[in-house]
Amino acid sequence: MWTSSALPSLTLGLAALSGTLAQSYNDIPEIKAVGQHFFYSNNGSQFYLKGVAYQENYNPNGTNDANTKYTDPLSDASKCSRDIPFMKQIFTNVIRVYAIDPTQNHDDCMEQLASNDIYVIADLSEPGTSIDSNNPSWDVNLYTRYTAVVDSLSKYKNVIGFFAGNEVVSAQNQTAAAAFVKAAVRDTKGYIKQMNYRSTLGVGYATADVPSRDELAHYFACEPEDGSATSIDFWGYNVYSWCGDSNYQDSSYGERVDFFQDYPVPVFFAEYGCIEGVVGGPTHRPFTEVAVLYGNMTSVFSGGIVYEWFYSDNHYGLVEINGNSVSPYPDFTSLSSQLAKVTPSITQSSAYKPSNTAPACPSVGGTTWAAVASPLPPAVNPQLCNCEVANLQCTVDSDDEDSYADVFNYICGADQKYCDGIARNATTGDYGAIGGCSPKQQLAWVANQYYEGSSNKASACDFNGLAKTQSPTTSAGCEALISAAGTDGRGTVPSPTGQQGTAAASSSSKGAAAGTMSAPSFFNYGTTFFAAYVITALVSGVGMFVL
């Protein structure tokens, strides 16, 4: 390992790094997905990702712990100027960031990246605000976070797009969660279009190399409804099967090329770089897979993103950081050497005629797949949620979410119909119109259903002081939304209009804990309640798929 904080040969133009070429993120050519490939929008040349994951002290597998801290990698200009010269030594043209703070200013880092022809793919979630693999939902808290990130990064032309989820499905009994990620893809794409953000912004998903990977790939690319509103724009594959000096066959790279041969959107390695069994240890990865990834795989794959830049406790990392000093490890040199030798064939967009079509959606059955592709969870509409709560006679008067479980348990156990409006069943496609609201709003809804079902008795709207009666109000624009959702909450949810993310985004400053993510719905509130509701649902014939 050698150390340098400033090398003359790595200056890459200090004017560029100091911001002299201001606003170059407005001038850099956009990257657009056409069929199975990415292309530069200005000259039509094919774009291959030569990337690195760039997030300090972060576990990309995610956590729902709102107290987990993370550092926004795009908000500190000094760190960007420290790292970018070294990134260029490994031919970096894209970085993947796993969590950004949408309330921070990213202009300086994005300018530096653009000035060095580096693009960005950003995950939309953050610790504490992500789709839970075992108890999934797609609700107003997630929607607000996702749209806030889109609002924050949409102006930068060196943003290729976003991941709506990363390894959300990592086990066979978690496939139902895919429905909620597909709904997130749909609503994020819809938001980009509705806000008239540039059409080249894509939304994709990154999967682990799991047993259900084939069904996942088909599910996210299939189009059960007219058009591509629910299908991903690109597919990221986190692959760690090539370890040390493996080969095309032993790593199963060949099988992956065969499988994605007819895939309709670009596919790339969203993470790669196995550390298992490497001679010399984790920092000595030889990256012999690079020659294959940018060689005979290029007819199907669009390159990849090495995991990861910062060395951390998981023993992955290309460099050690000590203040302003960057110390590359031996695998940094190996990666640079391997990438220097590749010359992938370039296709011009003018000569490329996409012919691949959307695959069939996987069928629900057995233990292999548990999510129908249509209907998906309804669109999240924050205005509807606010309208519904204001129009209730009985509402929740407490923000203590730890106390919600018993009330949910009691009400839904008393009569399952009270909770129909917040139902979510990815296997049958049975969803309530209120299920996309916050836990407090969902509880207010079911409490009101119970209150009305109890002949509006005062004692039926108390729950040990958790609830209270109120005078219902209906603001302008609410009547149509409430009518669409229905008095039983089993109706439809109109798509929201207007900017949704930026104004409502909670601030989590650099290095601070992530914004609090409330438990997504009543299924989170204890196993006692969950069991009671499942029994009630089964007795009534509704059915419930247990994750």
Task: Report the range of poorest mean pLDDT among 2-16, 46-60, 284-298, 373-387.
Answer: 2-16
Is 388 designated active site? no
Rounded Cα distance, 7 and 85, in Å: 9
Confidence check: pLDDT of 515 > 70: no
Among residues 111, 167, 215, 289, the one annotated as catalytic is 167
Question: Residue 495 above 90 pLDDT?
Answer: no
- Asked if 262 and 303 count as a contact pair (C-beta separation under 8 A), the reply is no
Q: Alpha-carbon distance 290 to 269, whole Å? A: 11
Say if residue 199 is exposed, middle or buried (CB neighbours under 10 Å; 0-12, 13-18, 19+).
Answer: exposed
- Cβ neighbours of residue 130 under 8 Å, at least 6 residues apart? 62, 63, 64, 142, 165, 168, 517
Q: Looking at residue 65, what is its pLDDT?
A: 64
Residue 408 makes CB contacts below 8 A (sequence gap 6+) with: 419, 443, 446, 522, 525, 529
| pLDDT tens profile 464-473 | 999 999 999 9
CB 223 within 8 A of CB 269: no
Q: What is the pLDDT of residue 247?
A: 97
Backbone angles phi and psi of 518, in degrees to 5: -70, 155
- What CA dihedral angle connects 454, 458, 460 and 463, to 10 degrees? 170
DSSP SS3 for 420: helix
Query: What SS3 class is residue 282?
Result: helix
The pLDDT of residue 58: 83
Check if the beta carbon of residue 321 is closer than 8 Å to that of residue 310: yes
Q: Tell me which of 526 and 349 has the higher pLDDT.
A: 349
Tell which phi-psi region holds residue 271, choosing left (phi > 0), alpha (psi between -120 and 50) or beta: beta
Mean pLDDT of 429-436: 96
pLDDT at 502: 60
- Indicate the pLDDT class of residue 513, thresholds 50, 70 and 90: very low
Grade residue 66 by pLDDT with cuts at 50, 70 and 90.
low
**By the 8 A CB rule, do 234 and 185 touch?**
no
- Above 90 in pLDDT, residue 288? yes
pLDDT band, residue 538 (cuts 50/70/90): very low
Name all contacts of 373-376 with Cβ < 8 Å and 24+ positions apart. Answer: 373/179, 373/182, 373/219, 373/222, 373/224, 373/230, 374/224, 374/225, 374/230, 374/429, 375/429, 375/431, 376/179, 376/182, 376/183, 376/186, 376/230, 376/429
Tally DSSP H helices, then E strands, for the chain: 14, 17
pLDDT recorded at residue 69: 82
Q: What is the DSSP letter of 506?
A: P
Q: Which of 111, 126, 223, 271 is catalytic?
A: 271
Active site residue 289: no
